[in-house]
A = this chain, B = another copy of it.
Amino acid sequence: MPEFVRQIPAGDTHERLVCSTCGFVDYENPKIVVGAVVAERGRVLLCRRAIEPRRGFWTLPAGFMEMGETPEEGARREAWEEAQVRLVLEGLLAVYSISRIGQVQLIYRSRFDGPPSFAAGPETEEVRLFEWEDIPWDSIAFPSVRWALDAWRAVGTGPLGAPAGNPPEDPRGTVHLPAEAAL
């Protein structure tokens, strides 16, 4: 991770976070990632990434929430973009904080809107429904994908209560895995 330092960029009037490595100016506040665990009869949908970071690894359909949409709309949009899936959201499964990269992730438990139907979108190599025991744990793209799958497994199809949070081993989302980066 590059180090960001606080300074006033040329032509600007406010202090910003500026990357000490390349000069990139970070005008952003923490970002919201919205995603879904899509389940169908005990199987869960995963997408193999066609893009960096973590190209070739498996992830949930998820991405950055955009202006003008609700988190739920964002989660549905991402599922469509990445996996050509039409979702019904059942509720908030988990809220994760990845403070190292300024992300809050809102992950929804969801199901197909109608018969299961999916296909790889432009940023996706392959989409599959996995039985729990077939999930490629060694090829999961990001720790929070594993967290969300565990949270889904724990709650099953029962009523959703308080959303899961970060696991005890990474309460603030600061653990840095090699070659790991933003969703």
A3 CA / B82 CA spacing, docked (Å): 30
As for how many copies of this chain the complex holds, the number is 2
List, in ascending order, chain B residues with CB within 8 A of A73's CB.
99, 172
Q: Which of B72, B104, B160 contacts A71 (CB 8 A)?
A: B104
Cα–Cα, bound, A56→B53 (Å): 48
CA distance A91 to B69 in the complex (A): 25
Which of A29-37, A110-118, A122-130 sits within the interface? A29-37
Report whether A92 and B91 are in contact in the complex, using a CB–CB cutoff of 8 Å: no
- Per-residue CB contact flags for chain A residues 16-29 toward chain B (1 = under 8 Å, else 0) read 01000000001111
1/0 per position for A97-141, CB-CB distance to B under 8 A? 101001010100000000000000000000000000000000000
- Is the C-beta of A157 less than 8 angstroms from some C-beta in chain B? no
Residue of B nearest to A16 (CB): B27
Query: A: which residues have CB within 8 A of B?
Result: 4, 17, 26-32, 64-73, 91-92, 95, 97, 99, 102, 104, 106, 159-163, 171-173
